[in-house]
């Protein structure tokens, strides 16, 4: 075996190890931002580039966008800009030895960052319909060649990045489809939540505020990020059961009679029954919130009369958010309470209607939460 053969074996082993290292991370990643960063890291490692980005096409805005690092805002460029734009327009890869000798090169980025681009590769990502959905771009080959000169990308590098692009395209397209399905589900949830608000002649902003306050309380309580997001998405469904309550009761300006109140209380079970048989976990989670958000910490709530930690945590959280919004907002039967009176009521109900720790969290972060009402109703 020649030295060249040995080098090829070592290089093939290196690439195989990279793929085995990155594939589990990519398969486990659920957010597009993180996926783009992982794909770019994989591409950069495989072709030994100084920089690598995976750009996606945003047809609605006529732009390309990417993420280069966690915590960094996304980067956007016109869809026809530079080498990346060329690959989007033509569907062709590029292998450039010296960017400054090519008229398609957009120098503005280098001028802004004082970075010197030399060798460049671009490879289009094709979706299952055969359309360009994005572009891999690798910049500046690391190391030197046998003559001691700065290395440039080779045909072999282009082939490797192209193979990475095929895998990346399938992964990104699948992620986009999942994101679209999740977005559609969330939109349906929000629309259904608004149905109950429109029927009760209250502003649809109520469900938005309850969702926002619920997620803030969950975050301040120290719940994991995915649980905070799950509560934010499900909370708008808390009053879905109001669609089954007669208008004469739902929009009555005065106090309910005992019989009317009994009917009104059924909205929590109605909402639960509408949602709990769903095959979607998020909707089943919303069903629990719908049924439990009128339970009380002391066991005197409805519909089950359960108490303490028997009440699902999301229901306890949504209960605080719902009452805060009900007291602080105008309703068909009342004007909003003054801020200090609202605060006094929560302190009064600490350990009675509400979990003590949740009231403590609300008080600790009162200004951050109550600013929603100062902004909307002052």
> pLDDT band for position 102 (50/70/90)?
very high
Cα(59)–Cα(77) distance, integer angstroms: 12
Name the one residue in this structure whose structure tokens are 């072999």: 156
Q: Which pLDDT value is given to residue 148?
A: 72
Catalytic residue numbers, as ranges: 242
Cα(375)–Cα(249) distance, integer angstroms: 30
Q: Which pLDDT value is given to residue 302?
A: 96
Q: Which pLDDT value is given to residue 378?
A: 47
Q: How many CB atoms lie within 10 A of CB 230?
A: 19
DSSP for 267-291 reads HHHHHHHHHTT-SSHHHHHHHHHHH
pLDDT in tens, 225-283: 989 999 998 998 898 888 888 888 887 888 899 999 999 999 999 999 988 988 878 88
Average pLDDT rounded to a whole number, residues 50-74? 81
Average pLDDT rounded to a whole number, residues 293-315? 97
Provide the residue count of the chain. Answer: 378
Average pLDDT rounded to a whole number, residues 338-343? 95
Cα(5)–Cα(190) distance, integer angstroms: 60
Q: Where are the beta strands (DSSP E) in 26-150?
A: 49-58, 63-66, 75-78, 94-96, 120-126, 132-141
Using the predicted structure, report yes or no on whether residue 9 has a pLDDT greater than 90.
no
Cα(204)–Cα(340) distance, integer angstroms: 25
Q: Which pLDDT value is given to residue 6?
A: 58
Average pLDDT rounded to a whole number, residues 303-326? 96
Between residues 129 and 28, which one has the greater pLDDT? 129
Tell which residue, 144, 116, 124, 43, has the closest CA to residue 84: 124
Is this model's pTM higher than 0.75 or not? no
Q: What is the mean pLDDT of the chain?
A: 86
Check if the beta carbon of residue 315 is closer than 8 Å to that of residue 217.
no
Cα(39)–Cα(55) distance, integer angstroms: 10
Q: Which pLDDT value is given to residue 99?
A: 92
Average pLDDT rounded to a whole number, residues 168-175? 83
CA dihedral 241, 246, 247, 252 (to 10 degrees): -100
Using the predicted structure, report yes or no on whether residue 69 has a pLDDT greater than 80.
no
Q: Which pLDDT value is given to residue 8?
A: 66
- Sheet of strand 49-58, all strands in order from the earlier edge strand to the far edge: 75-78, 63-66, 49-58, 132-141, 120-126, 94-96
């Amino acid at each position: 075996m020649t030295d060249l053969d040995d080098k090829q074996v070592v290089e093939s082993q290196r690439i195989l190890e990279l793929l085995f290292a990155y594939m589990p991370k990519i398969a486990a990643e659920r957010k597009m931002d993180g996926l783009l960063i992982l794909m770019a890291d994989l591409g950069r490692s495989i072709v030994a580039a100084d920089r690598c980005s995976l750009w996606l096409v945003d047809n609605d805005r006529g732009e390309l966008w990417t993420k280069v690092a966690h915590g960094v805002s996304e980067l956007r460029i016109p869809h026809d800009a530079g080498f990346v734009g060329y690959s989007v327009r033509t569907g062709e890869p590029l292998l450039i030895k010296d960017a400054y000798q090519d008229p398609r090169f957009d120098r503005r980025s280098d001028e802004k960052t004082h970075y010197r681009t030399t060798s460049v590769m671009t490879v289009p990502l094709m979706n299952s319909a055969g359309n360009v959905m994005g572009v891999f771009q690798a910049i500046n080959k690391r190391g030197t060649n046998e003559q001691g000169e700065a290395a440039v990308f080779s045909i072999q590098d282009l082939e490797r990045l192209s193979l990475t692009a095929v895998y990346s395209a399938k992964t990104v397209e699948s992620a986009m489809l999942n994101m679209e399905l999740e977005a559609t589900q969330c939109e349906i949830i929000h629309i259904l939540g608004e149905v109950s608000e429109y029927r009760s002649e209250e502003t649809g902003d109520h469900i938005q505020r309850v969702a926002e306050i619920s997620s803030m309380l969950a975050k301040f309580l120290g719940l994991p990020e995915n649980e905070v997001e799950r509560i934010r998405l499900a909370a708008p469904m808390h009053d879905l059961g109001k669609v089954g309550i007669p208008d004469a009761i739902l929009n009555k300006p005065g106090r309910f009679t005992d019989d009317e109140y009994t009917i009104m209380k059924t909205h929590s079970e109605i909402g639960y029954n509408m949602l709990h048989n769903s095959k979607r976990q998020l909707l089943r989670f919303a069903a629990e919130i719908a049924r439990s958000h009128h339970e009380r910490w002391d066991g005197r709530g409805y519909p089950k009369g359960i108490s303490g930690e028997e009440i699902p945590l999301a229901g306890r959280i949504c209960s605080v958010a719902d009452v805060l919004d009900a007291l602080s907002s105008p309703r068909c039967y009342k004007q909003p309470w003054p801020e200090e009176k609202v605060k006094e009521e929560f302190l009064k109900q600490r350990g009675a209607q509400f979990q003590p720790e949740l009231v403590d969290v609300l008080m600790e972060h009162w200004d951050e939460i109550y600013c929603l009402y100062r902004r909307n109703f002052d």
